[in-house]
Structure 1
Amino acid sequence: MSDEVLDPALVARLKRDEHGLFAAIAQQYDTGEVLMLAWMDDEALRRTLATGRVTYWSRSRAEYWTKGDTSGNVQLLKSAALDCDGDVVLLKVDQSGGACHTGDRTCFDAGTLPLG
């Protein structure tokens, strides 16, 4: 990767878990549809901001993965925002194809939970 680094002010605001990770929510930029939640570390966020293609950290494979490299279902970054606590990044993306590893458009279409 390039020699670009994350802004030190951003690095100072990020709150990571014991593995150096924070949650990243991908949302379709024009419809507001919530697509998926995955994990990032500083390097994944740096790659995402530098390239405009979303990169995550795979906890199960212990490696970086850029969304769409194997599936073709690319996430192009439109904007990124850090939440008030600094422990979640909201990525507004333009998703091509399914966002979920099952091939579905969103990871949140497995049914609603009963209330009350």
Structure 2
Amino acid sequence: MDTAREKGSKLDPKWDADGLITGVVTDSQSGELLMVAHLNAEALRLTMETGEAHFWSRSRARLWRKGETSGHVLRVVELRVDCDQDALWLKVEAAGPACHTGARSCFYRRVERNGVLQGNFTIRSA
């Protein structure tokens, strides 16, 4: 157990072998899970400095600000770190859908016992 990291009062992320930390993103009002992404040190710094969510795209191998092309920016209301500092929780106000598919959440499908994906859409007025 890394007592200093777990008991300390300083942010000291435990980066993985690729220099990343997992970010779990939820709606600050409803608590709905919107997306999961990864941050490197630069993405975390920019997120903290600007108040807008920045991530590291593993597939594109580049830094990106959520909403940079769609306009669906995630304004960070609260940022939390878990007990051993290897995951972040971003509570956000979303300026539109969080998912690149246009769905409000990236978690719009439910996995049934037989492994079949079923739609699980919730329609909400803005």
Alpha-carbon distance in 2 for matches of 1:113, 1:43: 38
SS of residue matched to 1:43: helix
Counterpart for residue 36 of structure 1? 35
Tell me the number of residue pairs that the alignment of Structure 1 and Structure 2 aligns. 105
Return the offset for 1:25.
Answer: 0.7
Counterpart for residue 18 of structure 1? 17
What is the letter of the counterpart of residue 30 of structure 2?
Answer: T
SS of residue matched to 1:111: strand
Return the offset for 1:114.
Answer: 2.8
Counterpart for residue 49 of structure 2? 50
SS of residue matched to 2:110: coil
How does the TM-score come out when normalised to structure 1?
Answer: 0.86
What is the letter of the counterpart of residue 75 of structure 1?
Answer: L
How does the TM-score come out when normalised to structure 2?
Answer: 0.79
What is the letter of the counterpart of residue 78 of structure 1?
Answer: V
Which structure has the greater CA radius of gyration? 2
Q: Which ranges of structure 1 fall in alignment gaps of 5 or more residues? A: 1-8
Alpha-carbon distance in 2 for matches of 1:42, 1:81: 15
Q: Is 1:97 aligned with 2:96?
A: yes
SS of residue matched to 1:36: strand
Return the offset for 1:110.
Answer: 1.1
Return the offset for 1:85.
Answer: 1.7
Q: Which ranges of structure 2 fall in alignment gaps of 5 or more residues? A: 1-9, 115-126
RMSD: 1.3
